Amino acid sequence: MTELDYIIQNFDRNFRVWRGRRIALSAGEYLEPIVRNFDREYRFCSTLGTDSTEVPDGIDLVILTARRTGKEPDYNRLKASCLEKQVKLLDLFALDQIALHQELAEHRHLTLEQWQDIFSRYDVVSLFIPNVVANFNGFKGRWALRSRFIALFDWLTDQGKPIVVFWESEEQLEPLIEAGIDRSVRLLRRAGNDLGFLQLTELYAGKRVIHVGVGTVRDGIVPREYGLDSRVNRYTATVPSAAGGSVGFCEDRQRVIEAIEGHDVVSFDIFDTLIKRTLLNPSDVFMMVEEQTGIRGFAEHRYWIQIDCPLLSLEEIYKCLGATCGYDAETLVMLREKELEIESDVIRPRSSMVEIYNCTRRLGKTVVLVSDMYLDGGFLRRLLKRCGISGYDALYLSCEYGKLKQDGLFEVLREQRESGKTVLHIGDDPYADAVSAEKYGLEALPVASCLEMARRNGYAEAIGRCRTLGERKLLGLSIAEAFDDPFVLDNDTQIAGMIVAPLAMSYLQWVRGEMAGRKYDRFLFFSRDGWMLLDAYRKLQKRCPDLLPPGLYFYANRHAAFMTVMDDYQLAKHFYFHQPEYQEDPPKLLQKAFHIPADRLLPYRGETLEEYYEKNAAGIRDAAELCCENYRKYMEREGISGGKYAVMDFISQGNTQSMLERNLTEKMDGYYIGIPEYITAGPANIRYFLDSDTMSYDTEMKLEVYFTSPEPALDYVGEDGEPVFAEEVRDEKTLERICRIQKLVRAYLDRYLEKLYDPADAFDRDLILCLCGAIQRYGVENYYYDDMSGQEIRTKP
């Protein structure tokens, strides 16, 4: 039976419950036979082309007719569209692709005992050779069995459980044959679209079978399509430390220094310990290469060579790419240079750990660097030097020694130990750095990576939500900025990097998409909420001047705009008549809020607020006309006259905009970040980035303060067209904190736009809402100024 036969045979059983619903088929190799065999019964309503990533309205289900991987940008956009429209995305075996990809992405490294516990529940265990059974030893030019596999093989044999090993090339079998293991296991070759799993299903019908491999699709999803269980081996199964317990991270900087002082030789891991990538995953570098070169499929091929052959050098990897993909020499050079360029762009020093490294050198210790790495020593040395890391005594790389840390790379330090010196290794991976170092007789001190710090401090859910390259770049930079120090948690750094900066960048990218083709003359950033965004917007506008208009910081708020229409009785009643301080003193309202001099008011004779307002209607009308004239002077000076304008505000019902439109401008279009919780929709000419009620008003108020300018609130526009400000009500400490956070956010936005930005990036709003909600865990107060009452409001959570 072929895979197609299996699909046809089971299709109706899998999808019968969907009959009569609106089903779309995504283009793929099995599209034609599915349509030919089942369109009469199912009446598929549409077919999505190869490059189609937008799900049509009204669709209930999208069925993939070819296997897709999470490394394909168009597939990720299709998934994002399905999520946005709440449409199911299933493969031809009726597996939920979104949920399954997410589950497999969360699989983590396991100890030998954990693997044994899992395998004890199954009748048959299936293993894939690369990175599970054996590794390719680039130093010796051959495949070698993993010590974990040998331990697992002995245990499985003792348990009497059948073992199946999947292989792809003859040379992978040589170490199995030499060890005599091939006589004890069933060997199956990966072949056909079903990759041999159909045969495995037929061989062990009725048995509980689990397959372990390294590929999300090939080893995680495909086995499940044939009714098998699967586990993706993200790292490797390793033997636990002698202590037998789980490895904990050191959270005390002084303890690290004391440990260094007590040893003769100190070994440092490099990546995620001394330096960091501003990306969520290392393989995102490959996705960026594909994104910037337009060579489709590069990222997946590059990723699998890295996974299957972890000991190859970069030069060897690109030779494999040439042989596997047929790239010519010129293309290979271009791809390799682009990868190194991007790698260089996304690498930054982990400043807190570099300080510890430099302290180690000052103490006169022998310092060595050890890394499982494919980059050659020359490039890595230049990278380290740029990050302020130099003066080490030795550099040991797995691609140069043909061994990973867990497979013997630490043996290079044997000479140091044999000479009577004590060796300490510091790294971020509990297994490759801690367990493996102890295995080879070193003392180990694990410190948490930036990513681990983020997971341990409340951002695991947000990390799990990242499905596209754009989102992984956005959050990767956030984590690198917010969790540099494994010993100190700084609330302001986290607020800036994990919340405010991603919100700001995603809003700007949303604006870029929303404004396309609308041809505005200016984008007006209302004071004070537009203060922080303007600089980043101008840099983005320079990159796409045909899509975005020039940006301008524009002095406007509800109170100043109201003064141009204060002769409108209904508006005055809505904004001011309810305020207690004016109920018993109507002249105070007209003098303080409307700025009408006392000598221009008619005498107060005990009238109600409404009566006194009507009594002074003529004077109020004259004052409103004067305010309009003053505002026009300001606008003319800024070049705002008779054009088509867009406006930005953080959170608003649109009152400021509508009052300015009354006498001063044509109709403007609003692009606001948040919508107040007390309305369900704004005017037709206002769009909201976060247009749902899933973010509380309290959360929005806490966030708005970090977008505001350090200036006091605008009070009114004076006779010379100059803005006049109200009294500052925020204290100096609050202002200093706001300015510090804004400085961090601006640095983030500058780096993202310079090194990571791509016009095609899109960010799921649920991810942004998830990040915004985290502001509540920091216990910050609201500090915002109500420009209608003239009062500061402080609300504790």
- Given pLDDT bands bounded at 50, 70 and 90, which one contains residue 86? confident
pLDDT tens figures, 546-571: 899 999 999 999 999 999 999 999 99
Contacts of 649 (CB under 8 A, 6+ apart): 526, 529, 530, 656, 657, 670, 672, 673
The pLDDT of residue 304 is 84
pLDDT tens figures, 693-740: 566 777 888 899 899 999 999 999 998 999 999 888 888 888 999 999
Is pLDDT at 793 greater than 50 in this prediction?
no
The tokens describing 59, both together, are 């669709």
Greater confidence (308 vs 454) lies with: 454
pLDDT tens figures, 5-25: 989 998 988 898 888 889 999
The pLDDT of residue 245 is 36
- The mean pLDDT value for 261-265 works out to 93
Beta strands in 640-795 (DSSP E): 645-651, 669-674, 686-690, 714-717, 723-725, 784-786, 791-793
Q: For the domain with range 108-232, which CATH number is right: 3.40.50.150, 3.40.50.1000, 1.10.10.10, 3.40.250.10?
A: 3.40.50.1000
The pLDDT of residue 618 is 95
Identify the sign of the CA torsion 768, 769, 770, 775: positive
Asked whether the beta carbons of 92 and 7 are under 8 A apart, the reply is: yes
Residue 528 bridge partners (DSSP):
none
Fold of 3-103: Aspartate Aminotransferase; domain 2 (3.40.640)
Domains 3-103 and 253-448 are alike in CATH topology = no
Q: Determine the Cα–Cα distance for residues 411 and 146; give it in Å rounded to an integer.
A: 16
Name which CATH class applies to 253-448. alpha beta
Is pLDDT at 324 greater than 60 in this prediction?
yes
Residues 373, 434, 426, 446, Cα dihedral to 10°: 120
Is pLDDT at 794 greater than 50 in this prediction?
no
Q: Where are the alpha helices (DSSP H) in 235-393?
A: 253-261, 284-293, 298-308, 314-325, 329-346, 351-362, 377-386
Asked whether the beta carbons of 374 and 399 are under 8 A apart, the reply is: yes
pLDDT tens figures, 149-208: 888 898 999 999 999 999 988 888 888 888 888 778 899 998 888 899 999 999 999 999
Give the start-to-end residue ranges of the domains of the chain: 3-103, 108-232, 253-448
This prediction has a pTM of 0.71
Question: Residue 555, CB half-sphere, CA atoms under 13 Å: how many?
Answer: 24
pLDDT tens figures, 204-235: 999 999 999 988 888 999 999 888 999 987 64
